[in-house]
Amino acid sequence: MDDDVSRLLCGTPQLAPRSVALTFDDGPGPRSAELSELLRDEGVPGTFFVLGESLARHGDVLDSYRDCGHSIGLHGDRHRPFRSAGHAAGELSRCAERLSGYLGAAAWFRPPYGMGDWPVPGFAGPVGWHAHGRDWDITYRRGHTVHACVDAIAQRLIQRDGGIVLLHDFAPASEFTPAGLTEADLDLRILEITALLIERLRGAGFSFTGLPEPAQAAEPEPPARAPGGTGEPRQTGETGEHAPPAAAQPSVAAHGAPAAAREAATAGMTTPARVTTPARVTTPARVTTPARVTAPAGMSTPAGMSTPAGMPAAEDMQSLRLHRATARAAGGILDLVVPMRVGDGPALFCAHPVVGLSWCYLALLPHVDASYPLYGLQARGLRRPEPLPSSMQEMARDYADQIRMTQPSGPYHLLGWSLGGNVAFAIAEELERRGEQVGLLVILDSRLDDPETMALSNEPWMVYNLILAQFGYVPALTPAEQAPEARMLELVRRRPGLGLDEWPDQRVRALQRVIKNNVAVAQAHQPGRVHCRLLFFSATRNPPGLAEKLESWRSFVDGPIEAVELDCDHRYMLLPDPIARIGPALTGQLARAAAASAAVTG
């Protein structure tokens, strides 16, 4: 790795610790559309510093950048070093003209080769980088490897706790054409590099973000000028060391271009000197997407149903990681009753949310006292083709039968999150109708009084997004999908190892059928009244307020009601912070229920 592994130009924005921003120079190119979709499917926002000369070849890719929710920045019109602020303004303006309709009010820019460390009026930047892996040595077939490239970037980011990564989705024609090369001679491995880098950094605990909105970033200050100099700004790397004189540079550190282009790029450059980098401001990631599509109340959307073309937020990605973990831990089990933990204490039966699987409740295990067994209830129709329940009452009768085969006598303790709360309530109704005692009903922010809020569009793309999210895939389908099932299977095949890739197509279709049926029976159900203790967990970031939620539940529960407020969104109630509060409260209530039962029998 050369000494110029990082180059912090004066407009480089600061990121939050443990955050990584992926940036791509010199495109668009022949693989840029695939790269854009890969990033979208992985939930990773990208910033593409576009080169005017590349637009002439692959300008159609701009729609993919935009539609996949990525940011577009400027790299200049031709890949030549900026000689002055005026020269930079001309290059950037010509590039911006080619991008008419694709840029916002302000756009980030990065100078070619990272050379030209001065602000340019009307543009945000210049943006440098903290790490690169010499991916150009792969493009130009110099013996470099994908793994070596990724290793270098990951090592650097781990050392400095995150930062901005420099990658390339193409190479400038003004470099490879004079060297006698064509596009066919380039080894464009950016898809493999990016996929491996995302996997490596996620495994190391990093999260991905975009560059902040240009208007929100700190205004760069002009760089310091060397005493006795010509007035031209000077540049430096992150360490503040002076770079060697241009005439002595063996290569252009940012790209390693062919020899003819390197010589042209370095000709006439002055000796760099140290500059003053202004204070930087941490700002939110840029997400240029349509309005966020959220699930209605009462619906469990494990990944938060981010905007179809957008980047999931940090909690969305945390939720995806949780569902990947629980899906792996469940091992694909589709039994009607899943013994998550067995024991001698009173059991807790957890009713599945809308997706029909109870794997999500595995997250409870570390937080609920180990003396209490936990069982998950799962929908019919997944293990094998069979009729689905035509009503919530029929579903509840079936689950009550399964519960009594596991635990022949009460009192019974039930839990449900989201639509699972509706299912748990219906089971409580059925058990009491049979003369059984329900000791505790635990509801995680469900609603019974507004069936319309449980409506889920019958559009297959939304249902397939629910399926993807359940297994930890980014729910990336959009309303424009002509063949959503085929698109979903493509996403699954692109990232094997999360479990869904092992399912036959007919089982995936069955899961879609189960989701739609669960919604239909919940909407049609007319709940009655139960006579038991209710423990209600309220997600405070979702309306209505706690008082209104409890008033609604008093219409259906004739028994003591206790409530716990959680500072979270309904969709994220099983993430570590909320569940760390749910577990102890639930353990305490189970202990009270067990003590009450022992007092009666004693």
pLDDT tens string 438-456: 999 999 999 988 755 555 5
What pLDDT does 469 receive? Answer: 86
What pLDDT digit, counting tens, does each position of 225-261 carry? 333 333 333 333 333 322 322 322 322 233 333 333 3
Residue 311 predicted with pLDDT over 50: no
Residue 455, pLDDT score? 55
What domains appear along the chain, each with residue ranges and CATH number? 19-212+251-266 (3.20.20.370), 314-601 (3.40.50.1820)
Cα(278)–Cα(485) distance, rounded to whole angstroms? Answer: 50
Which DSSP state fits 29?
-
Q: Summarize pLDDT for 18-29 with one digit per residue, the tens.
A: 999 999 999 899
pLDDT category of residue 193 using cuts at 50, 70 and 90: very high
Q: Helix, strand, coil proportions of the chain in percent (round to 5)?
A: 40, 15, 50
Cβ atoms within 10 Å of 36's Cβ, excluding its own: 26
Q: Which residue carries 């791509």 as its tokens? A: 24
Report DSSP letters for 528-571, one per residue: --B-S-EEEEEETTSSS-HHHHHHHHHTTB-S-EEEEEESS-GG
Pairing of strands 374-377, 337-341: antiparallel
State the pLDDT at residue 416: 97
Q: Which of 60-66's residues contact partners 24+ apart within 8 Å by CB, and which partners? A: 61/27, 61/28, 61/29, 61/32, 61/33, 61/36, 62/28, 62/99, 62/102, 64/32, 64/33, 64/36, 64/37, 65/28, 65/32, 65/36, 65/102, 66/102, 66/288
What local confidence, expressed as pLDDT, does residue 222 receive? 44
- Are the CB atoms for 110 and 88 separated by under 8 Å? no
Phi, psi (5° rounding) for residue 415? -140, 145
Q: Are 516 and 454 in contact (CB under 8 A)?
A: no
Banded model confidence at residue 314, pLDDT cuts 50, 70, 90: low
Q: Are 351 and 523 in contact (CB under 8 A)?
A: no
Residue 475's pLDDT is 83
List, for residues 321-374, the tens digit of each pLDDT value: 888 888 878 878 899 999 999 877 889 999 999 999 999 999 999 999 999 999
305: tokens are: 């149903």
Query: Lowest mean pLDDT: which of 312-326, 362-376, 573-587?
Result: 312-326
Residue 38 CA neighbour count, 13 Å, CB half: 19
